[in-house]
Amino acid sequence: MDPIDNKGGTASGLAARTYPLVALAFSTIFVLTVATSVWVYYSQSPAVDFASFWAAGHLAITGQPALAYDIQAHRAIEMSVTHMGGLMPFPYPPPFLFMVSAIGFHPFWLAYLAWIACTGALYLLAVKRFLSPRYAFAHPAALMNAAIGQNGLLTTGIFAFGASIVARQPYLGGAVLGLLVIKPQLGVLLPVALLADRNWRGIAAAAVSSLLLLAAAALVFGLDSYRGFLAITGDYTGYMAGSRWNWGELASLFAFVRFFGVPEAVALAIQGVAALAAAAITWRSWSTKAEERVAVLAAATLLVPPYLFTYDSLLLVLPLAFLLRDGRHPWRVAILWLLLLAPILAYFDLYPGPNTIPIAAMLSLWWLAGPKAAPVPAPVPA
């Protein structure tokens, strides 16, 4: 749906002309990025994030899933197709091995293409419930996910599809949301939302779905895979505590304040306060069955975990969709989009500041659920 075709107001003529042009430009860049990446993956096998997924998937389908969590064994598989300079471990729960097993085959470039095509299709089918497909790939993080082969298209697709149907189809919606056990930091507010909505069937379905997936992973990949996952999770916790990350790469509020030299304990306290506020706003939005509740949940989710990356910000496509549909404040869309673009520019040394994703998430919550927020039209019916 175009910005001027809405129930909540009419966007300015400039915005109505600019939005489709920007969307077309970025969608074109997205397609060119995928096409270029296929060639680069074919000719150079770059040491990007997708190499970690491919190596884990390869180990899983060759009967060695627990080695996906052995940093050196996993790196050796990565090195078989890339020129890895550092470490790129696999810090995802064993159920995620089901996803990457499908792309753990040779050749490397074809596995990448299959990954982007499948996760991109899922993402598009899910978010078209909220906005016109022309805007789906105009989110800056979509471009990043395409370039490095990350999982944002997959997780946002699961989140958007499940959250959009859970009220009307609680069993199916809950079962889909349960799949977020593959990346649990993105599902931490789901119980809050479903409890506030008193959606007991959705809660039950999500619990059964996630538990079945966890049990299936234990059965298929073995308990050693869980031991390996717990060990590598401890390593990552140590990396965070030891300030071994470039704080501009992480997209959490914790990393944002750490960028400015705030002590770790204070940064964790700030993160905790933000998480509680996000949970409270989510509860209010879902308990009152607000029309913007799915977008609120998406924005609030990004304010809870301290461990979050820029590619995860694709979830903010849902607040963007509602702001586009409302159409009365085009400058809000512009500000939000620029805040999402800045961390992408940082990868090209074009932006030296902190990661602005948490600012985008907080503004989204304020505009959607703040005390002066105007009603937002409902999403496109399924």
What digits encode the pLDDT tens for the residues 175-230?
Answer: 999 999 999 999 999 999 999 999 999 999 999 999 999 999 999 999 999 999 99
- Cis bond upstream, residue 107 (ω within 30): yes
Burial 237-273 (b: 16+ CB within 10 A, else e): eeebeeeeeebbebbbbbbbbbbeebeeeebbebbee
Please answer whether residues 23 and 134 qualify as being in contact, where contact means their C-beta atoms are separated by less than 8 angstroms. Answer: yes
pLDDT at 371: 74
In the block, which residue shows the tokens 């020129």? 83
* Low-confidence winner among 89-103, 143-157, 323-337 (lowest mean pLDDT): 323-337
Please answer whether residues 64 and 225 qualify as being in contact, where contact means their C-beta atoms are separated by less than 8 angstroms. Answer: no
Using 50, 70 and 90 to split pLDDT, how confident is the model at 14? Answer: low
Is the pLDDT at 304 greater than 60? The verdict is: yes
Please answer whether residues 269 and 323 qualify as being in contact, where contact means their C-beta atoms are separated by less than 8 angstroms. Answer: no
**331: which 2 tokens?**
């400058």
In the block, which residue shows the tokens 């627990």? 66
Is the pLDDT at 19 greater than 90? The verdict is: no
Using 50, 70 and 90 to split pLDDT, how confident is the model at 246? Answer: confident
User: Does this model's pTM top 0.95?
Assistant: no
How far is CA 295 from its chain centroid? 13
pLDDT at 210: 98
pLDDT at 8: 41
Average pLDDT of the chain, as a whole number: 91
Query: Residue 189: exposed, middle, or buried by beta-carbon count in 10 A (0-12, 13-18, 19+)?
Result: buried
